[in-house]
A and B are shown apart, each in its own frame.
Chain A
Amino acid sequence: MYHENIRNFCIIAHIDHGKSTLADRLLEATGTLAKSEMKEQVLDSMDLERERGITIKMHAICMSYKGRNGQTYSFNLIDTPGHVDFTYEVSRSLAACEGALLIVDAAQGIEAQTVSNLYLAIENDLEIVPVINKIDLPSAQIDLAKQQIKDLIGCKDNEILLASAKTGQGIDEILHAIVERIPPPKVFPDLPTRALIFDSMFNSYRGAVAYVRVVEGELRAGQMIKFFFSGKVFELQEVGILRMKQIPRDVLRAGEVGYVIPGAKEVKDTKVGDTITLADRPASAPLPGYREVKPMVFSGLFPADAENYEDLRTALDKLKLNDSSLFFEPETSLALGFGFRCGFLGLLHMEIIQERLEREYQLDLVTTVPNVEFHVYTNQGKKLIVDNPANLPSAGDIDRVEEPYIRSNILTPIEYIGNIMGLAQDRRGLYINTEYIDKTRVNLHYEFPLAEVIFDFYDRLKSVTKGYASFDYEVIGFRPGNVVKLDILLNGESVDALSVIVHADKAYEWGRRVCEKLSDLIPRQMFQVAIQASIGSRVIARETVKPLRKNVTAKCYGGDISRKRKLLEKQKEGKKRMKQLGKVEVPQEAFLAVLKV
């Protein structure tokens, strides 16, 4: 049967452990890509990914491999994004595979991201092929990495492959192991069609393109297909497989991986995790595991120059075409004007969107302090979902507030446990337990309010562990939280864009630091500027920017005039970056600086 020669697999690795380079080598070794066509790390096609060394959006690629037995195999490598914000997407990619290459850096050992993805893979019954990469490094500690892998998945020593994606060493063994150890897909060609969408993208000419793994039945161009969760029906325009580009085929059969073009205008019709079936012979149930992806982190995005509001909307619309997890709606701020309230999967997702807006769309943005979503129960018994400090009812109307919590794994060398526990305590972490991975490493399990980790937690974690710890999380639900709305006032007037919802115990510290920071950034003006932090009507911190007392150019003769005028021109240019709040001029940096408090 055709499916005996199909191998669907993915690569599980931590950022920097060489996943993309290894993928490149596989493409090269199978002749999918000639060496001359190689651009380093072909799979990461966005500049941003390449620069940050991370994979944001997954892709899939089909390779032909001539095995040692002379038979030709069809390899489908399904790439997975490598960050905590995209755990769900990772789980869907894994669900499309029968096996996974577990890549461990010979010098770095296993990290948290790898462990959690590995667990996901094991949950999905994937065959794990462990590979120690970068064995050519002088700092490689192969035996240590081997021990870690054995402790983690209980394999035998000789099952662990050694490779260097950089030099090409071990690549043949990996290809052979894929044939030998990863099982072919189990297929049920006669059952009603079910195909799993594990990724989708937007093409400006063709509309939404879904990447699918056909599980049962088959898909052909011209068929009427139905999406289980969106419920929509489309006439399938094209199906095919993915090489370096899309190659149309007549049919995608059970067990195969490829793309389908349903003629849908938006990617939200081809959501990751949804199941495609046939309209005239539908399957009775979707494939398991679908989840509605919800934004967890919210922030206001405003154009630095009000004239760019429409440009920002257009840019967000375009990004949304390709990213159904991005959410936005118009927001108006007295301080920052017209902008958008945006929802993101997590902090990295937020940073990526902001960076893409600035880089690809040349937009200069002012962002507000990110916050999580709160469930607010009022005294009238109503439940409100609040993702914007401006919408938090006054304290007197609130019965209770619930905030999202996460369960996290922190993988660390044991010498940093103390530091991490200190940090966790500071972030309202609930200690669950410690799991020993080997003699030198532990996996610390903690629960945190999500609000405590969206703010520089990862940076702090890296700094208290000299960069050795790694971290990942999943949201586990909402729990009561004692939070308050903290306002920042300039000369008595509240600046909406600086309001935050914080835990009551941290309000004082936050207010004090924001006031201090603002007093450094707001230039002296012709009058005194009072900067206050308040909860309701109670002021909890205050700083003062003293007024200018004397500010006079003493001499202004022949040559001084041009000089003075040029100075004024420069100041005028600088003023474009100032926001006028009441009478007070506030530099845009002030809004951004609050993000670094």
Chain B
Amino acid sequence: MGELALYIHIPFCRKKCIYCDFYSLTSLHWRQRYIKALVQEIDRQGRSLCEKVATIRSVYFGGGTPSLLTREHFFAVLQTIRNHFVLAPDVEITCEANPGTLSAAKLAGLRSAGVNRLTVGVQSFCDVELATLGRIHNADAARQSLRQAREAGFSNIAIDLIFAIPGQSLLQWKRNIAEALAFNPEHLSVYGLTVEAGTPLDAEIKAGRMHPCSEEVQRKMMLAAMHRLRAAGYEQYELSNYALPGMTSRHNQAYWQGLSYLGFGASAHSFDGRQRWWNCRDLQLYCRQIESGQNAMAERETLTSRQLLYEMILLGLRQNSGIDSRKWHSAANVDLFEFVQHCGLSTEEGLAAFAPSAGHHLLSRLGEALVLSEQGVLLYDSVCEKLVGGLA
């Protein structure tokens, strides 16, 4: 291992949002015990890896709602990391934060603990939409948090937005984008609302109490975000992610580029380039296992060379860098562009990633890379299915 990304999962939320199928608890009762276990897990892993491990390029506190932790908690975790790993001088330390759990003091604490990138779960600047999603904050709280984050000295702020919220209009969506831009965030994540099976949102829709946006409206919303954010100087470097030049999320890119990452905490995933493994989801089980000196791993998979190709497709196409035909060739032993043709898909020559294709091609050949066109972005899942299906 040369470089590593570390992910820390914080499975607490004050209240569960109706669309969320992540593992999290609304009770803070277990917080102290969990942090202790987390520190133990990092400590134990660190010891066993010590000599092999090189530089940590990113640390990411995700959740759940990591901003529910105290400054001391961050200190404890980050100190344990520093004890065992070498942090790169320009290490990116991100914390996901929800307005409603932030205050000037909390933000200052995060800064002093070493967090240098904040991703704020704004989701919408419309109170009705936030209520629909079951968020604990309103639009004013979001605005205040963003201002306070700047005041606390955060120079790398990311805003999360959700579109296709039941009842959302295209116009309101465009307003949300405009307002987010007014805060000059370095980074924006724009997610189409996904209805996961078994969530309260799923139940509401099935019961006919909520009505999902039509596919046509969703398409327009996604295009609106792409066009508006690019016009504002943001680079769409991944299907759902936009950044000002040089401000991409180093941590998330590790996932998409197939780099190694270690995850700590309940349900956290790790990957070493060939194997992926993950911890049990249940927080109490996680704590008990760590406390009794075991690891908390639930499952491990070793990717076959075929599965590595699948992931090359599904991750490569999400990025504006696309799939590298040389990497593809050495892994698959077939020419990428011939393979694409064999799958019944056509490509346009030299079209920039995610740009509209006059010939309605879904893919473009850009030098050595295969990238999606704008039409291809909108049908990403189908393109993946087609390519994966085309592999012998």
Contacts and interface: CB of A to CB of B under 8 A. Distances in A.
Interface of A: 525-526, 548-559, 561-562, 564-565, 568-569, 571-572, 575, 583
Contacts, number: 99
B362 interface: yes
Given A555-B194, A562-B301, A571 B385 contact: yes
B314 A561 contact: yes
B124 to A, nearest CB: 15
B344 A558 contact: no
B222 A550 contact: yes
Interface hub of B239, B268, B377, B379 (most chain A Cβ within 10 A): B379
Given A552-B381, A571-B385, A561 B311 contact: yes
Interface stretch (B135-143, B211-219, B331-339): B211-219
The 7 closest A-B pairs by CB, nearest first: A558-B269, A550-B219, A554-B191, A551-B381, A549-B215, A559-B269, A568-B388
Contacts of A550: 192, 215, 218-219, 222, 378-379
B106 interface: no
A557 B194 CA distance: 14
Contact of B222 (A552, A565, A572): A552
A537 to B, nearest CB: 28
B260 to A, nearest CB: 12
Contacts of A558: 7, 255, 261, 263, 268-269, 271
A575 B389 contact: yes
A553 B240 CA distance: 9
**A contact patch SS:** loop
B75 interface: no
B315 interface: yes
B243 to A, nearest CB: 16
B310 A555 contact: no
Given A526-B362, A561-B315, A555 B219 contact: no
A569 B307 CA distance: 9
Contact of B388 (A549, A557, A561, A572): A572
Contacts of A572: 385, 388-389, 391
B: interface residue count bin: 35 or more
Given A557-B255, A558-B255, A569-B310, 7 more contacts: A549-B378, A550-B379, A554-B193, A557-B252, A561-B269, A561-B311, A565-B310
B252 A551 contact: no
Contacts of B215: 548-550
A436 B379 CA distance: 67
Given A550-B218, A568-B384, A568-B385, A583 B318 contact: no
Contacts of A562: 269, 276, 278, 301
B24 interface: no
5 contacts: A551-B378, A551-B379, A552-B380, A552-B381, A562-B301
A572 B191 CA distance: 26
Given A552-B378, A553-B380, A571-B385, A565 B194 contact: no
A549 B194 CA distance: 15
A218 B290 CA distance: 90
Nearest to A564: B314
A588 to B, nearest CB: 15
A557 B192 CA distance: 15
Interface string B5-36: 00100000000000000000000000000000
B314 A568 contact: yes
A563 to B, nearest CB: 10
Contacts of B7: 558
Contact of A555 (B218, B240, B377): B240
Contacts of A559: 267-269, 278
Contacts of A552: 192, 222, 239, 377-381
Nearest to B385: A571
Contacts of A554: 191-194, 239-240
A571 B389 CA distance: 8
B328 interface: no
Contacts of B218: 549-550
A571 B386 CA distance: 10
Interface in B364-392: 377-386, 388-389, 391
Nearest to A562: B276
A556 B256 CA distance: 8
A379 to B, nearest CB: 42
Contacts of B362: 526
Given A550-B378, A555-B240, A568 B310 contact: yes
B381 to A, nearest CB: 4
A583 B344 contact: yes
